Amino acid sequence: MKPIWRVLAYIKYFPREAVLNIVFNTLHIVFNLSSYVMIIPFVELLFGVSEPPAEAPALSFNQHDLSAWMVWQLAQYKEIWGLWRCLAVVSGAYLGCSFLSNLMRFLAQFFLSTIRNGVTERLRNDIYHKVLILPVSYFSEQRKGDLISRMSNDLADVEWSVVSTLQSLVKDPVNIVFFAATLIFISPQLFLYFLMVMPVAVWLIAIIGKSLKRNSIHGQNRLGGVFAVLDESLSNVRAIKSFGQESEREKVFEAANEQYSRTMVKVARRKELSSPLSEVMGTIGLAAILILGGNLVIGGKLLASVFIVFVIIFARIIPPIQALVKAYSSLQKGAASAARFFQVLDAEELILEKPDAVKKDSFESAIAYKDVCFSYGGDLVLDHVNLVLPKGKTIAVVGPSGAGKTTLVDLLPRFYDITSGEILIDGVPIGDLNINSLRGLMGIVSQQCVLFNDTVENNIAFGRRNYTRQQVEEAARVAHADEFIKEMEQGYDTLIGDRGLNLSGGQRQRLSIARAVLKNPPILILDEATSALDAESEHAVQDALTRLMKGKTCIVIAHRLSTIQNADQILVMEKGRIVESGTHEKLILEGGLYKKLIDMQSFE
């Protein structure tokens, strides 16, 4: 139940509402109980079932003396005021208690609504913040569909299974305590009979709760699998259609969905069993009390009117017990979802920032990799890499697939942390720098364009807080994007659709370049920015990149080697090592791996 306590700990952010909810719930229970107690004078006035004492009895705090005192008082009022007036007074008192009870209940719910929605809001904010600061490696190891399930379905389950039971968790235990205390005061002997039934019910409910939690965990994991299949299908719908795999993917989805449904059927059946079980146990207890209590009344040991109130209050104690049992079942189910939810919140932040991290707003001299090694947990992806990139120069990184090119540049903005060695900017290790200021020095244009379902202007200005429309338009002109943007129906205010799918590949890429132009970073990373484009789009994008690179320090990863022949230095990587280094002409003359790569490609 530890995840449940972590959820409930969020209530500390709403102390005023929590205190008021408890106060009004307590008052609701007091007035509710008072309305039931008013049944005693009703019965005595109407039927006179008890003979009043000849003299006023002494008033003391026990059931027998209080009953005798009340019967004597009612007899006096009835004789003085008459039956109808007494009934009117008692009726007014009953209505007053009932009105106040319901008013207190409303006020309790009024303040609880702030807590319920506030807790859910904070949980949602916390997990979104956590997702944004988790390292890139975390998302490489996790299925995106499962993460979406944890952030949506698991959180919703926490909201309905945990947060929505707050009223039961606060009100029902107090309700049970007040009602039980009243029953004990009226007849400890009868209440003892009821307690003899409860241990069996509690034991059975505990067994059901454990099974419910176990199956809930399985169910949520399998729902994550369903979301994962759905996410893969939506992301690769073109490939599915082109290979005619619609029916096969449908079978995969149906199998995952069937497993989830079977598990949730078990969860639903066990959840629904707890409430009827508690009611059956309560009914058994009530039957025993009717028999045993009837004997006490017949034997003159208990007033009939008091016994009637005992039965009514006993019947009223069963619903809060049922509600508490149902809340317990919901908590068991919610505990599984909360555990999965907190697994994301507790995920280790591998990319940590030092408390005294230095903010760096400018790039002055050089970037240096010193004996850098990196692995994802197995073999080395980068093996003792050394290089220096002076300010204003362009280094191109080439090599076969899997050589470690992208990993080399991903280490610079600290998407991953190096295993050993050191990376320095202007002589300062990047681990000593403020992460946001470090990444603020860089602009990244990759093969995969990162665009959002927003306007053209907002996509170009992504990451900038202070800018003007004129600056956006100038960045678009530099990126050769201004022409096609003006042809759109709403120009820079046009929505480009999910991930910019309303645009061509070349247009998406030029918007990414325009974003880098507007940011105007001193360090530029180009990761195969033109490799997925056709010849016409590549020409336009390459021209835009050439404009972007002017006066900047650039690291270019290139698949098409014709685009990097003018680089100041070309690094050739193989199996995580830099095996060749030099200009285009020098490397051609050496006749090594670079020459072989050149020979494999045709140039215009």
Q: Please compute Rg for the chain using Cα positions.
A: 37
3-state secondary structure of 204: helix
Encode pLDDT of 63-119 as tens digits: 555 666 666 666 666 667 766 777 777 778 778 888 898 899 899 888 888 888 888
Residues with Cβ < 8 Å from 363, sequence gap 6 or more? Answer: 391, 425, 426, 441, 522, 523, 553
Task: Please name the amino acid found at residue 91.
Answer: S
Q: Considering Cα of 2, then 5, then 7, then 10, what sign does the dihedral take? A: negative
Q: What's the CA gap between 473 and 481, in Å, rounded?
A: 9
Q: What's the CA gap between 406 and 219, in Å, rounded?
A: 38
- Which ranges of 299-432 would DSSP assign to H, the alpha helix? 304-345, 405-410
- So what's the pLDDT on residue 272? 66
Q: What's the CA gap between 468 and 492, in Å, rounded?
A: 12
pTM of the complete model beyond 0.85 = no
Q: What's the CA gap between 429 and 422, in Å, rounded?
A: 7
Q: Is the Cβ–Cβ distance between 382 and 557 less than 8 Å?
A: no
Residues with Cβ < 8 Å from 265, sequence gap 6 or more? Answer: none
CB contact burial 11-32 (16+ within 10 A = b; e otherwise): beebeebbebbeebbbbbbbbb
Which residue in 225, 253, 223, 226 sits closest to 240, CA to CA?
A: 253
Task: Report the largest interatomic distance among the alpha carbons of the chain, rounded to a whole angstrom.
Answer: 127
Q: Which two tokens stand for residue 323?
A: 């509600």
Q: Is the Cβ–Cβ distance between 108 and 171 less than 8 Å?
A: yes
DSSP 558: -
Q: Is the Cβ–Cβ distance between 521 and 425 less than 8 Å?
A: no
- So what's the pLDDT on residue 370? 94
Residues with Cβ < 8 Å from 165, sequence gap 6 or more? Answer: 327, 330, 331, 334
Return mean pLDDT, the chain. Answer: 78
Q: What's the CA gap between 21 and 116, in Å, rounded?
A: 12
Q: Which two tokens stand for residue 173?
A: 């235990």
Q: What's the CA gap between 603 and 26, in Å, rounded?
A: 83
Q: Which two tokens stand for residue 80?
A: 């003085």
Q: What's the CA gap between 320 and 168, in Å, rounded?
A: 8
- In the chain, which stretches have pLDDT less than 50? 45, 49, 603-604
Q: What's the CA gap between 43 and 37, in Å, rounded?
A: 11
- So what's the pLDDT on residue 11? 87
- So what's the pLDDT on residue 270? 66
- So what's the pLDDT on residue 16? 92
- So what's the pLDDT on residue 212? 57
Q: What's the CA gap between 587 and 481, in Å, rounded?
A: 35
Give the bridge partners for 581, in sequence order: 571
Q: Exposed (0-12), middle (13-18) or buried (19+): which is 55, by Cβ within 10 Å?
A: exposed
Q: What's the CA gap between 35 and 39, in Å, rounded?
A: 7
DSSP 374: E
CB contact burial 115-134 (16+ within 10 A = b; e otherwise): bbebbbeebeeebeebbeeb
Q: Is the Cβ–Cβ distance between 369 and 576 less than 8 Å?
A: no
Q: Which residue has the tokens 């907190």?
A: 342
- So what's the pLDDT on residue 82? 67
